[in-house]
Amino acid sequence: MQKNGEHRQQVADKIIVALDVGSEAEAYALVKLLSPPLSYYKVGMKLFTICGPRIITRLKKLGAKIFLDLKFHDIPHTVASAAGIITSYGVDMFNIHLGGGGEMACAAVEAARETADRKGLPWPLVIGVTVLTSLDAQTLRETGIERSLDRHVVGLAALGLESGLDGVVASSQEAPAIRARCGEDFRIVTPGIRPSWSARDDQERVLTPRQALDAGADYLVIGRPIIKHPSPEKAIEKILAEMYK
């Protein structure tokens, strides 16, 4: 029988804290404050643009696992080059945008794995972005996409699976359909998670942490409810209590 502490840690390992802060010092302080019980952190465009690649190596020295959220979207050769470079920094997960197509996705996976093998590193998880959680059906139509939001997300997830990706970034509202189409081993990373006590902010397709887990999400990306809370530690405890029910 599994001990409660072990189960609680497994739940904590599903949280990825979005380090959407304005300086390396703020990111460093949050990682030191929240680890343990947390271990996974997202470095997005804002922090990466401010700090550059050094933020990855410095946070890794604290024992953090890093999800690099830059949503690579370019010609296959360029994305492959970026994937290889990022892998050499030891990221644990990074993403590409599935709007770039299957050839681009395949190139990213191949470059990441080749670089990891050459440098003796673990393969990073290569995850495909489907539709941002701030978008809705009307926004898709503005960009010329006529199929329903659900069908579009699942179609992109299937493309990612066929291209060798490890999983996708998608709203937890689409997670059950993705799981049915892509199988149990395909990772689903869900942003836009909002605990029951927090504001929705600019997110459209959101669920609570417990709802997201029940829907089949593997990882929950949570930013503002934690980093903007007066006590990030207390926010984590409230979120874990909500997830652990």
- Taken as a whole, the chain contains a residue count of 245
Q: Which amino acid is at 4?
A: N
Catalytic residue among 71, 234, 238, 245: 71
To the query of whether residue 71 is one of the catalytic residues in this protein, the response is yes
Whether residue 173 contacts residue 148, with contact meaning beta carbons closer than 8 Å, is answered with: no
CA–CA separation, 64 and 89 (whole Å)? 13
Nearest to residue 95, comparing CAs of 135, 140, 132? 132
Burial class (CB in 10 A: 0-12, 13-18, 19+), 119: exposed
Residues recognised as catalytic: 71
